[in-house]
Amino acid sequence: MVLSWTQDALAVLSGGAVGFSLGLIGGGGSILAVPLLLYVVGVGDVHVAIGTSALAVAANAFANLHGHWRAGNVKWSCAATFAVAGIIGAAIGSSAGKVVDGQKLLFLFALAMIVVGAAMLRPRAGAGNPDVRMTPMIAARLAAIGVLVGAVSGFFGIGGGFLIVPGLMLGSGMPILNAIGSSLFSVGSFGLTTAINYALSGLIEWTIALLFILGGLAGGFLGMRLAIRLAAERRMLTFVFVGIIFAVAIYMLARTGLPPWLSIH
């Protein structure tokens, strides 16, 4: 795929929009990466958009992980247990996603966007045990939840933070701040696993991925700066962003127009 200067610019701007939303709202932004790659940048294949998105999501997650690590927000034993189990799930999920027809996958992705939007509207409890220590029971819970969440993340090529954060809290009992910091290791690991799986099938557009990542880093920095100023308005901004997610999901559903039931041919 030979890129024009227009596509270069659109890739950077689209990555910037995703990074900005992640920095401003604190989650959910990566769900827009695939529709942006398809409808704005002009990637013609759904599977290539998912593979490229997964790589960009992984890079941004690992970049943001460093800050949480330095702040002491990452519970490494819990994060590693969840991530290792989830990598197995992501490998299975991404393998399944590659063989699903592109239009059907896009329809299911739009439904997943609606689920993500609804999850973002739910208030999160901040309570938990900041001194949580790994036990065999906690390890078993984290591994079981990690495999399931990793499979969903891999199938759709999304970060999955909206599932990983509550999964870590449910499995270990850690507070939400630690769950957010620890989740980035899993988001990066799942995204990288998915990206490698898609890359082995030649389903990543590398130049677009690099431009998307660069835009995402710049957008994330600006989003974090603005988030500090608009801290009191965070809930309202979340509602606005969820409205955008719902609107894009409806547009995608209208474009695919699939059922009766996912048109079997």
pLDDT number for residue 28:
63
- Mean pLDDT score, 21-30: 67
CA 238 vs. chain centroid, Å, equals 16
Would the pLDDT of 227 be above 80? no
- Nearest in space to 153 (alpha carbons), one of 224, 201, 82, 211: 82
What is the average pLDDT value for the chain, to the nearest integer? Answer: 84
Q: What is the pTM of this model?
A: 0.82
**What pLDDT, in 10s, does the model give residues 74-90?**
899 999 999 999 999 99
| pLDDT grade for 234, boundaries at 50, 70 and 90 | low
**What pLDDT, in 10s, does the model give residues 236-251?**
777 877 888 888 888 8
* CA pair distance 40, 32, nearest whole angstrom: 11
Burial 46-77, CB ≥16 within 10 A → b, else e: bbbbbbbbbbbbbbbbbbbbeebbeeebbbeb
pLDDT number for residue 232:
66
pLDDT number for residue 169:
87
Q: Which two tokens stand for residue 1?
A: 């795929």
pLDDT number for residue 51:
94
What are φ and ψ of residue 168, in 5° steps? -65, -40
Q: Which two tokens stand for residue 146?
A: 């990690």
Q: Which two tokens stand for residue 201?
A: 């099938």
Element (H, E) at 15: helix 5-25
Would the pLDDT of 26 be above 70? no
